[in-house]
Structure 1
Amino acid sequence: MMFQPSARDKRLASLRSQAISRGARVSLGSGQAQGFTRYSMPWQAKRRDRNFWRLMRKNYSHPVHLAEFWSVESTSEPDPSEREWLTQQLHALPASIGFVEAAPDGVALFWSEPAGKEELAFILQWLEVAAGR
């Protein structure tokens, strides 16, 4: 007996394949990020002084959060220039993004994948800009 992929499975496979063809890495989130898919772009330039951090979108505003709703969920924080850029750019992210991460392998967005190609195109563009910083 063979299983047929559902329409949702085909849509997700198509989105992920498009992302990979544009240079992104795609993997499933784990831990706090379970239920999200991690889309990442490698850093365009290696820097020894780069901080690695993770931000989590909260459903409430707080003065210590970045851009009102983004809580630092790691032991290190974005450096001042990253904080300034993020404060301007986090508002543009769709509600389907739950986490933003700067990691040794690149910058990542954790996406719940509810939408289609237009949102994916925006996410990939955002990652490309962020990876070039």
Structure 2
Amino acid sequence: MNIWTLVVLLGVVAMVVGPLMLLQPSARERRQAELRERARQEGILVSLRALPRQATDMEAPSRIPAYKRPAGKGGGPTPPWMLVRAAYQHEAHFLGHWTWQGAGRASAREQQWLAHQLPSLPQSVQAVAGDAKGWSVYWTELGGIEALEGILDFLKGFSRTPKGEERNDRIRG
């Protein structure tokens, strides 16, 4: 076999196999798919959403994965609320590092629960939110399965908060 025939044959194989290799998901994409599939198995919905723009943001925030636990029969919190991890610590922020977005606030019971649970979330969690449809964690997906398990536990905790007592707190307040 002529050396040039071998070179041409290898070139043709590379031209066929190369593009096929590019179609394979990267290791990062496979990890993301694994995380999202695990969350889906637990009843969590995953979508890409943009966080609200902060005063310290130089440009509009990019979209990040939001892991949402749908509300059960009683619905989620009303009015809707969102806490975003601030770029700096300040005494006016919730727990020093979290800032409320918009006019909505979590109920007193939810705030008490959040005060105990937010410090356990990984730094890769950028925001938490609640609305009538459920509760969300905006997470950059860093930390792998271990971080996901903590986030799943965090989201499950909202469903264990007694809804009737929360609504009574709002009516009295």
TM-score, reference length from structure 1: 0.89
Q: 1:122 to 1:31 in 2, by over 3 A?
A: closer
1:113 deviation in Å? 0.6
**Are 2:83 and 2:101, in contact at CA under 8 Å, matched by a contact in 1?**
yes
Q: Which runs of 5+ in 2 are unaligned?
A: 1-18, 53-60, 162-173
1:74 deviation in Å? 1.9
Q: 1:48 to 1:107 in 2, by over 3 A?
A: closer
What is the Cα-based RMSD across aligned positions, in Å? Answer: 1.9
- Higher helix fraction (1 or 2): 2
Q: Which position in structure 1 is the counterpart of 2:74?
A: 46
Amino acid at match of 1:65: H
**Are 1:29 and 1:36, in contact at CA under 8 Å, matched by a contact in 2?**
yes
Q: Which residue, out of 68, 74, 83, partners 1:55? A: 83
Amino acid at match of 2:68: S
Q: Which position in structure 1 is the counterpart of 2:111?
A: 83
**Are 1:51 and 1:79, in contact at CA under 8 Å, matched by a contact in 2?**
no
The sequence identity of aligned pairs, in percent, is 31
Q: 1:50 to 1:122 in 2, by over 3 A?
A: same
Mapped partners of 2:77, 2:86: distance in 1: 28
Q: 1:88 to 1:21 in 2, by over 3 A?
A: same
**Are 1:55 and 1:74, in contact at CA under 8 Å, matched by a contact in 2?**
no
Q: Which residue, out of 74, 79, 95, partners 2:102? A: 74
**Residues 101-116 of structure 1 mapped to structure 2, 5 A cutoff:** 101-116=129-144
Q: Which runs of 4+ in 1 moved over 4 A?
A: none
* Pair 1:13-2:33 in alignment: yes
Q: Which runs of 5+ in 1 are unaligned?
A: none
**Are 1:66 and 1:83, in contact at CA under 8 Å, matched by a contact in 2?**
no
